[in-house]
Structure 1
Amino acid sequence: MRADSSIKEDVLAELDWQQNIDESQIGVIVNNGVVTLTGVVDSYSKKVAVEKAVNSVAGVKAVAEEIKVDYGNNLKKTDAEIATAAVSALKWHSSVPINTVDVKVEDGWVYLSGAVGWDYKKTSAKKAVEHLLGVHGVSNTIDIKPAVKPIDIKAKIKKAFERMATLDANKIDVEVEGHTVKLRGKVGSISEKNEARKTAYFAPGVYEVKNELEVE
């Protein structure tokens, strides 16, 4: 288990490495591998970038994200303006099928609902709107309803893990019950844990992934 001081040092170094992040705006506290982030940024996309950067650091077990977004008076957008921009962004995003995602905006938060066939389409919908000016957060509750039936899901997922250079497939157990996949075992970072979940969702017929992988 890594020392908190060592994890904090790497987190600060990773934030400094990211060109779109001003690390001086971010406060970092580490306690038993849990990283608490504070501060203020001028866009939601920067907030997402900070969390992604921290998740990539080895030893980080969880992230408590308390960063606030402040666009300033000159860049504020009404909910109607944000909603219009979100609908347009989804319409022109090639990975999001037309008329499958519903949008609601309240106090700068974008709420996505509806149904798509794959997890990457759900993720793409979130990415399409999170960079829009005025957005303070995104709640993504889009359902995943693949049209295909599950065919040897476990074998396909294990093979996919074996092809990935960032994962040790021998440390990950895959359990399948119906359309639900459960992942157990050990990984080196939160980003590896997230990557394993995303990879499992690519298997045909997977509706849900229960990610119980532990960060070493």
Structure 2
Amino acid sequence: MKTDRQLQQDVSAELGWEPSVHAARIGVEVKDGIVTLAGRVDSYAEKWTAERTAQRVSGVNALATRLKVQLPGFSKRTDADIAGAVQHVLAWTAELPAGALQVRVEGGHVTLSGLVDWHYQKQQATQSVRRLMGVLGLSDEIGIQPSVVVTVIKSDIEAALNRVAILDAGKIAVAVQNAEITLTGTIRNWAERETALGTAWATPGVHKVVDLMKLAH
């Protein structure tokens, strides 16, 4: 098990290894395996990347963030400009059905709502928006509408988890109720967590995944 000092060094090194993050502007504090990031970033996309970069380091139990997005002068946009850009990029995102999502912008913070058929469509929408110039934050209120025929089968999900080389699937338990999946058990790092959740979300008919997995110490 890593000490807090070792973990602080590893997170700082991983941030320095990520080319899209200005690591020199980000301070890293660790206490009892909980990492806190503080400092200034130039965009919401950089903030999001810094958080995901820290989470993928082995030994990180939880993450707190005090990162502030301070846009350079040339990046600032009005809420109306941002809303127009968001609607435009969503219209050009091939994975999204036309008119499925609604957009609200307040103080540079974008909220997406509406219904889609698949989790990957939620991911495509948020991924497209978070990198837009002028965005200070993003709230995902997009729902997934259950399929007419729910084909969620516990054995299929377990088989899918077993096919993923990065996972120790034997330590993850799967429970299915209607179109809701609950994952319990232990994972070794955040990368395993993200992989397990992504695998569950890829199952046809799923509209909710409950994550009760715990990091192994």
Q: Return the TM-score normalized by structure 1.
A: 0.96
SS at match of 2:36: strand
What does 1:125-136 align with in structure 2 at a 5 Å threshold?
125-136=125-136
Distance 1:152 1:73, change over 3 A: closer
Partner Cα separation in structure 1 for residue 126 and residue 102 of structure 2: 12
1:206 maps to which residue?
206
Are 2:83 and 1:83 aligned?
Answer: yes
Shifted more, 70-79 versus 107-116: the winner is: 70-79
SS in 2 for 1:140: strand
Q: Which position in structure 2 is the counterpart of 1:55?
A: 55
- RMSD of the TM alignment (CA)? 1.2
**For structure 1, which runs of at least 5 residues remain unmatched after alignment?**
none
Runs of at least 5 residues in structure 2 that lack an aligned partner in the other structure: none
Equivalence for 1:109: 109
Aligned residues: 216
Tell me, yes or no, if the aligned pair for 1:179 and 1:206 is still in contact at 8 Å: yes
Which residue pairs with 2:64 in the alignment?
A: 64
CA distance, structure 1, for counterparts of residue 159 and residue 130 of structure 2: 32
Report the CA distance shift for 1:210/1:138 in structure 2 as closer, same or farther (over 3 A).
same
Q: Following superposition of structure 1 onto structure 2, how do residues 50-199 of structure 1 map, counting pairs within 5 Å?
A: 50-199=50-199
Amino acid at match of 1:159: A
Q: Is the Cα contact below 8 Å between 1:110 and 1:137 reproduced in 2?
A: yes
Give, in angstroms, the shift of residue 61 of structure 1: 1.3
SS across alignment from 2:57: coil
Give the letter for the 1:61 counterpart.
N
Percent of matched pairs sharing the same residue: 40
Cα deviation digits, residues 81-116 of structure 1 (max 9, x gap)? 000000001011112221111101000000000000
1:152 CA displacement: 4.6
Moved segments of 4+, more than 4 Å: none
Separation (CA, whole Å) in 2 of partners of 1:176 and 1:9: 40
Deviations 1:9-46 (A, max 9, x none): 11111111111112111011111111111110111111
Shift of 1:119: 0.7
